[in-house]
Chain A
Amino acid sequence: KQEVTQIPAALSVPEGENLVLNCSFTDSAIYNLQWFRQDPGKGLTSLLLIQSSQREQTSGRLNASLDKSSGRSTLYIAASQPGDSATYLCAGHGSSNTGKLIFGQGTTLQVKP
């Protein structure tokens, strides 16, 4: 059974710092990986999708990488801003036969001005 772990569970940094959020899977046979952010009381906003044939994706100050051999993904946030404060969730597809995502518990990020 695929399980997803996100480390750390919570993180507080001063504005301007670069930071890395980690995500790991118990079964390295994952297909795609998607990173989301969730603001309090809101739904999920898709940040980046790394498809099975890719190793990384970039969007603005965000860069996500996927190492399928180790079953790990990282989300790198450059020059963090207070507006980046949110919970970040990673989720993966455990099989090519299903569209369902398996989620980690999330990392709650606070960026202090």
Chain B
Amino acid sequence: GAGVSQSPSNKVTEKGKDVELRCDPISGHTALYWYRQSLGQGLEFLIYFQGNSAPDKSGLPSDRFSAERTGGSVSTLTIQRTQQEDSAVYLCASSLQGATHNEQFFGPGTRLTVL
């Protein structure tokens, strides 16, 4: 079966440009998560979607970051006016439900480099 997929796998952009990262969760999974992995910070939570509930945006580092989830499936993470410190691997995960007893499955990530 298909796992979590992310695109693009790599993205190089210039400082100040906007970028969009895409995540396709496992079919039937109602919960979707975005994390960021950088050398100095390890893996950190960004945002969490569960069904039709309001997303948990508590991990977004600034108002330049936003995310949407359309139709309860595909999600897009948008970073506006990118900065060099945004360079990281952005990982998406999904789980069957959003409750804490559900296993999270991760995609391969998008490596973002801001020049």
Inside 8 A of B33's CB, which chain A residues have their CB?
Answer: 99-101
Q: How far is the CA of A101 from the CA of B103 in the complex (A)?
A: 10
Closest chain-A Cβ to B42's Cβ sits at a distance in Å of 5
Tally chain B residues at the interface, Cβ within 8 Å: 28
Which parts of A34-50 form the interface with B (CB within 8 Å)?
Answer: 34, 36, 42-46, 49
Interface majority SS on A: helix, strand, loop or mixed? loop
Give the residue of A32, A43, A101 whose beta carbon is less than 8 angstroms from that of B108: A43
Asked if B31 is at the interface of the complex by the 8 Å CB criterion, the answer is yes
B 79-115 binary contact with A (CB < 8 Å = 1; else 0): 0000000000001010100111111111111000000
Contact B108 A99 (CB under 8 A): no
Asked if B65 is at the interface of the complex by the 8 Å CB criterion, the answer is no
Inside 8 A of B100's CB, which chain A residues have their CB?
Answer: 31-32, 52, 93, 95-96, 98-99
Contact B48 A99 (CB under 8 A): yes
Tally chain A residues at the interface, Cβ within 8 Å: 26
Closest chain-B Cβ to A90's Cβ sits at a distance in Å of 11
Asked if B73 is at the interface of the complex by the 8 Å CB criterion, the answer is no
Contact A100 B48 (CB under 8 A): yes
Given contacts A43-B91, A44-B91, contact A101 B104 (CB under 8 A): yes
Asked if B75 is at the interface of the complex by the 8 Å CB criterion, the answer is no
Contact A99 B91 (CB under 8 A): no
Q: How far is the CA of A99 from the CA of B108 in the complex (A)?
A: 20
Closest chain-B Cβ to A57's Cβ sits at a distance in Å of 11
Asked if A89 is at the interface of the complex by the 8 Å CB criterion, the answer is yes
Given contacts A36-B106, A98-B48, contact A103 B43 (CB under 8 A): yes
Asked if A102 is at the interface of the complex by the 8 Å CB criterion, the answer is yes
Give the residue of A91, A99, A105 whose beta carbon is less than 8 angstroms from that of B102: A99
Inside 8 A of A93's CB, which chain B residues have their CB?
Answer: 100
Q: How far is the CA of A17 from the CA of B43 in the complex (A)?
A: 29
Other A-B pairs beyond A42-B108, A46-B106, A99-B98, 11, CB < 8 Å:
A34-B103, A44-B93, A49-B101, A91-B43, A96-B100, A98-B48, A99-B99, A99-B100, A99-B102, A104-B42, A106-B42
